[in-house]
Amino acid sequence: MSEGVDGVDLDRFVAPSETLIRVVEMIAAYLLAGLFAVGVLDLFISIIGLVRTGTIFDPDAGIDRILSVIDKALLLFIIVELYQTVVAYTRDESVTRIVIVAGLIAVSRKIISFRPGDFAGVTELVANAAAYAVLLVVLVVAYYVVQTTERGGESGPDGSGVLGDAGSGPGE
């Protein structure tokens, strides 16, 4: 029990706000799940359209449309990672690995859709390519550090040093 000024029970005043935050977190999770469902439907419609029109087999126009479908699929993976982040946060689990994976997917998405012709000059092109490369390397290193930290310090049930779940506890 936390007492504030004049012996007032602060927990009594904070509890409703904590409940409200939990409710809003769950609403966010359901919104992301709905967005994912709509995105999957849109992805299927796009794929069916490409196959039905034969555009998927056109080497000139097809590649742009295929990249568009890949872009949509990767965006869906990002939505899933955001959903998992909200759920893990609501459960007071570690979200570090999930956020890094979402970042990896986002950077990969940008790299896959990278078009050198979209830049005004060579300097702008090289700067953007270098930025994506640095982001990718930093995220891969961060992912490696998180994975080895989460698995290296504790032994799993079989003594192998591998824990079953990457979420090792609250506050991370």
Confidence band for 158, pLDDT divided at 50, 70 and 90: very low
In order of 5, 35, 37, 122, 140, the CA distances from 108 in angstroms are: 52, 21, 22, 22, 11
Token reading at 38:
């709509």
Under DSSP, the state recorded for 171 is T
More confident residue, 80 or 6: 80
Cα-Cα-Cα-Cα dihedral sign, residues 159, 160, 163, 169:
positive
Give me the chain's average pLDDT, please: 82
Report, as an integer, the average pLDDT of 68-84: 90
Confidence category of residue 154, pLDDT binned at 50, 70, 90? low
Residue scoring higher pLDDT (150 or 28): 28
Mean pLDDT of the 162-172 span: 43
Give the position of tokens 């742009």: 64
Mean pLDDT to the nearest integer, 136-141: 96
* Mean pLDDT score, 94-99: 88
pTM exceeds 0.75:
no
Q: Which residue has the tokens 């409940």?
A: 19
